[in-house]
Structure 1
Amino acid sequence: MLSVLAVVVSLALLMFLAYRGVTVLLLAPLMAALAVVLSGDARWLLPLYTDTFMSALGGYVLQYLPLFLLGALFGRLMADSGAASTLARWIVRTLGERNAILTVVLACALLTYGGVSLFVVAFAIYPIARNLFEAADIPKRLVPATIALGAFTFTMTALPGSPAIQNAIPIPYFGTNGFAAPGLGLLAAAIMLGGGLFWLLRRAAAARAAGEGYGQHAEDEEGGDAPTPAQAAAEAARHAGIPLVLALLPLVLVIGVNALFTYWVFPALDLSFMAERFPALEPQRVTGLWSLIIALLLACTTLVLVRLGHWHDLKHTLNQGVFGFMLPLFNTASEVGYGAVIASLAGFALIRDAVLRVSDNPLVSEAIAMNVLAGITGSSSGGLSIALQTLGEDYLRMAEAANISPALLHRVAVMAAGGMDTLPHCGAIITLLSICKLNHRQSYGDIAAVTMLFPLPALVLVIALGTAFGSF
């Protein structure tokens, strides 16, 4: 019982201090150490750090570093090439300013489903969203929720083939690919999108009826230091944009090439020769990752080539894109290391058994575990990684016994991790509010509605349909 209390105290402090802004790079090892000490296992503290925490952290980095690196690089190339701006302006022209909310949601969805990092999307879309909302006289406090709906929900967890890291994490555990359970994913995406838009449009209508408009926001007028000539030139290039066809091409490549290698190229190849040099390698468990790596690499290369001669400073863009992947990767890897230490404690075994006994249906048990861990860590990728690191084999075994497809396990796991991850201490939410120059009191309620109120019922429906009809 003492070990269970140690786990609970450690997790509670991790959540509280993360909400207060303390970096998880420091919190994860410290809170892991606290759990070890409180559980009475202090003599194992140093070996648990060097052999358990660091091994799990290193293993995660080795496995997912290419995806984080290429994803961050692709996002930077899309922004600095002007492609992101071109796509956003095209959607604005197509839908018009009167449909400001729908315009911003679809712009965010298009970019994130095409492989652009959600943080890059937030930075790129916010100025456009602010202008649209001001022109339509919609309260600015709804901007963060609108961006969150397009970037943090259905494109991240439900749409088949999404290049989001969350959609890639279950692949090596379940031997699946990014297109797992496509029909169920599309149905869930429709519920999230439709429900979120319904909420935001009703909130905007209520504000209009109450006489509330965009509002006065002096902080929008606050300026920082004057940009350098290089920064000004790069900003001008971003706003200049590129032809629409060239802006769309990289996004099409990310999804199309991923599907091509997932469904046709790798299945048609005889990969048995790899056993000679890599006897422990199971190709079916990693070809999904390989497909996504190839797609992102090809999209990045295409972006560089189609803009040759037009880059203001290609070396700077490449460097900034590569530097941008390190913090998200090591934040998540640190959470995985923390989870590995917690999983080694006696108290976690009791918690794990309790979760596994919640339901005979592994989909229900999995959904609860993912939601709880994502909520505690404030990170969908972190919670998903911790849960699969400790429970992935159990769920796969339970699913095989119940004749449940691993593809269904994959989709439920990803969607569940995107349910309670947006609690107030979520780093992505804190960053989004900072970008929009708003606070939790002004905007968090609507963010919570679009990122939890509708994704959770969509998850329940997917579990019900999957249980009744299997994966489709």
Structure 2
Amino acid sequence: MLGNLGLLAGLVLLIVLALRGVNILLAVLFSILVIGLTNGMALQEVFLQHFPFGASGAFSFAGNFLLLFLCGALFGRIMAASHAAQGVAMAITRWLGAPRALLIAMLVCALLTYGGVVVFVVIFTMYPIGVTLMKEANIPRRLYAAAIALGAGTFTMTALPGTPSIHNVIAANSLGTDLFAGGWYGVLAGVLMAVLGMWYLEKQWRSAVAQGEGYQATPKDEQMAALAPQGDAQLPGLLRSITPVLVVLFLIVLPRVLMLAGVSADWISFGLTQPILWASLALLSGSAVCYVLFPPVRPNFIRTAGQGADDALLPLINTAAVIGFGGVVIQTPGFHAFAAWLLGLNLPDLLSVFISANLISGITASASGGLQIFMSSLAPAYLESGVSPELLHRVANLAAGGLDSLPHSGAVIALFTLMGLTHKEAYRDIFVVTVLVPMLAALFVVGLAMLLH
């Protein structure tokens, strides 16, 4: 009984500390101390074994995925330094026009994250440009933030096949699948998320205009607007700007296309069976293309690459810390009872996957953390019950992208902090587009898969 109460207290403590802005690593360490003490676990096992080096340990995860985080952050930093990310954003803005600012934000964020640019780089790219768009279209800040979240943190993260996102790679690495597993289900879910999310945001925008709510400037807007490109002449054109992203996607899809065409070679097999290394190589190739296409980035290329390496550390450590927290949680009797309850529910396997992956991601407030814990603790049972690895890959990814965006999510807190928003002002819209809509899309895929299998 005490152990279960301690487990609950540790979870609540993690959520409260995260909401209060406490560093997630410190929050995790305090929380696992509470869990360890109340569950009678030796502290040396908690802090020196389960948290760092267990099957879901922080350092175990960091060691496996360091290269991917590093290459993704490097590519994102170089795309930003070359103004290619801004070039994509401004070209789409000219094409669609400022009155479609919400659609522009979603499309640009989706395009960049699908191509491998890390979420935080995308946010910092879109906010300075967004100040102008919000002014011209009179869009409330809360809705623009939700459009960024929809494009950067939903369908390109968990649904669309082929993306080098950490979530897609975790599933592929754990199940022995490739980055295109369950592809058609992912495409259907991705379309649903984009359409439903944008419908909601446009509806809310019309309602806000009718009620007299619009854009309100803040002192920080002036600073961020100064970071936005002041003239199109200094920006590369759309074709040149988007080429590095297209190269990354082309290299990722190439082994799958050649395999379907009946071509066999060792490097094709490598590309299909080593998702971490292959996605990392694709991102490095995109960075090399930036070096070739954008002369202004060359003089400071090494320094920019170093900044990219620095950019990788914080998200890697934060994600690893959350996963290490899960590594301690899964050692407790309470979690084993919880897992047994989930697996013992009289539900179809895919619906059980949906529920379990969602709950674990909600507990950790991290899709990647929840997915890693799910793969190491529950996925083997679903494979044994007959769920195919490809289908489990996609359904678990989709499910992990539901409750991961609860109020204590690090990404949500970072977005609100950057844009000067509070949970009271903006979380309702974030909840709809990053929790409710993805869960509906995942349920649709689960229902369809149950009909077809």
**Which of the five TM-score ranges fits, normalised by the shorter chain?**
over 0.9
**Is 1:144 the equivalent of 2:145?**
yes
User: For residue 247 of structure 2, what is the aligned residue in structure 1?
Assistant: 253
Q: Within 5 A, what are the aligned runs for 1:377-456?
A: 377-398=364-385, 400=386, 404-456=387-439
2:131 corresponds to: 130
- Deviations, residues 291-317 of structure 1 (Å, cap 9, x unaligned): 212211211111122224554522221
Aligned residue in 2 for 1:469: 452
Residue aligning to 1:38? 38
How far apart, in 1, do the equivalents of 2:190 and 2:91 lie?
A: 23
In structure 2, what is the equivalent of residue 96 of structure 1? 97
- Structure 1 counterpart of 2:85: 84
Compare 106-115 and 282-291 and name the one that shifted more.
Answer: 282-291
Give runs of aligned pairs for residues 55-204 of structure 1, distance below 5 A.
Answer: 55=53, 56-204=57-205
Report the AA paired with residue 112 of structure 1: T
Amino acid at match of 1:46: Q
Q: Which residue of 2 aligns with 1:52?
A: 50
Q: Which amino acid aligns with 2:321?
A: S
Paired position in structure 2 for 1:8: 8
Q: Per the alignment, do residues 84 and 17 of structure 1 end up closer, same or farther by CA in structure 2, a change over 3 Å counting?
A: same
Give yes or no for the alignment of 1:349 onto 2:336: yes
CA 1:299–1:35 in 2, change beyond 3 Å: closer, same or farther? same
Q: How does 1:14-25 map to 2 (within 5 A)?
A: 14-25=14-25
71-80 or 300-309, which moves further after superposition?
Answer: 300-309
Per-residue CA distance 1:332-353 (angstroms, 9 max, x = gap): 1122222122212222211110
Distance of 2:144 and 2:402 partners within structure 1: 20
Q: Deviations over 1:146-177 (max 9, x none)?
A: 11111111111111112211111111221111
Q: TM-score, normalised by structure 1?
A: 0.89
CA-CA distance at 1:285 after TM superposition: 8.4
Judged with a 3 Å threshold, the aligned counterparts in structure 2 of structure 1 residues 286 and 28 are, in CA distance, closer, same or farther, namely farther
Superposition deviation, residue 6 in structure 1: 2.2
Alpha-carbon distance change, 132 to 270 in structure 1, aligned in 2, over 3 angstroms = closer
- Within the candidate set 361, 372, 382, 2:359 is matched to 372
Q: Distance in 1 between matches of 2:428 and 2:201?
A: 11
CA distance in 2, matches of 1:329, 1:112: 17
- Pick closer, same or farther for the CA change 1:372–1:32 going to 2, 3 Å: same
Within the candidate set 305, 315, 322, 1:335 is matched to: 322
Q: CA deviation at 1:256?
A: 1.2
Separation in 1 of the partners of 2:50 and 2:396? Answer: 24
Counterpart amino acid of residue 287 in structure 1: Q
Q: C-alpha displacement at 1:406, in angstroms?
A: 1.1
Is the Cα–Cα contact under 8 Å of residues 87 and 247 in structure 1 kept in the other structure?
yes
C-alpha distance 394-283 of structure 1, shift in aligned 2 (>3 A): farther
Q: Which amino acid aligns with 2:405?
A: T
Instruction: Check the 8 A contact 2:358/2:404 in 1, yes or no.
Output: yes
The separation in 2 between residues aligned to 1:223 and 1:93, in whole angstroms, is 20
Give how far 1:62 is off.
1.6
**Paired residues of 2:291 and 2:297 also in contact (CA < 8 A):** no
Q: Which residue identity is paired with 1:296?
A: L
What's the counterpart of residue 215 of structure 1? 216
Moved more, 287-296 or 174-183: 287-296
Give deviations 1:10-64, integer Å, cap 9, x for gaps: 11111111111112212223322221210123xx220332222211222211211
Q: Relative to structure 1, is the Cα distance of residues 363 and 66 closer, same or farther in structure 2, using a 3 angstrom cutoff?
A: same
Taking the aligned partners of 1:361 and 1:263, their CA distance within structure 2 comes to 33
- Cα distance change of structure 1 residues 395 and 118 upon mapping to structure 2, 3 Å threshold: same
**So what's the TM-score if we normalise by structure 2?**
0.92
What SS class does the counterpart of residue 344 from structure 1 fall into? coil
C-alpha separation between the residues in 2 aligned to 1:180 and 1:438? Answer: 37
Could you tell me whether the CA contact under 8 Å between 2:361 and 2:367 is conserved in 1?
Answer: yes
The alignment of Structure 1 onto Structure 2 pairs a total of residues equal to 447
Does the Cα contact within 8 Å between 1:12 and 1:376 map onto a contact in 2? Answer: no
Match of 2:235 in 1: 241
Shift of the 408–217 alpha-carbon distance from structure 1 to 2, 3 Å rule, reads: same
Q: Distance in 2 between matches of 1:71 and 1:238?
A: 27
**1:95 to partner: Cα distance:** 0.6
1:269 alignment partner, one of 265, 270, 286? 265
Which AA in structure 1 matches 2:252? N
Distance 2:32 2:24 in 1: 11
After TM superposition, give the deviation of residue 409 of structure 1 in Å.
0.6
Amino acid at match of 1:9: A
Quote how far apart the aligned CAs of 1:395 are: 2.4
Change (3 A) 1:129 1:346: same
- Cα distance in 1, alignment partners of residues 258 and 317 from structure 2: 34
| Percent sequence identity over aligned pairs | 38
Structure 1: stretches of 5+ with no match in the other structure: 272-281
Residue by residue, what CA displacement relative to the aligned partner does 1:249-285 show, whole Å, maximum 9, x if unpaired? 11111111111124536982359xxxxxxxxxx9798
Contact 1:262 1:291 in 2 (8 A): no
1:372-415 per-position Cα deviation (integer Å, ceiling 9, x unaligned): 121122211111112222222222222x2xxx321111111111
Go from structure 1 to structure 2 and tell me whether the alpha carbon gap of 1:288 and 1:247 turns closer, same or farther (over 3 Å shift).
same
Displacement of 1:67 after TM fit?
0.8
- Separation of aligned partners in 2, 1:11 and 1:178: 32
Distance 2:166 2:181 in 1: 14
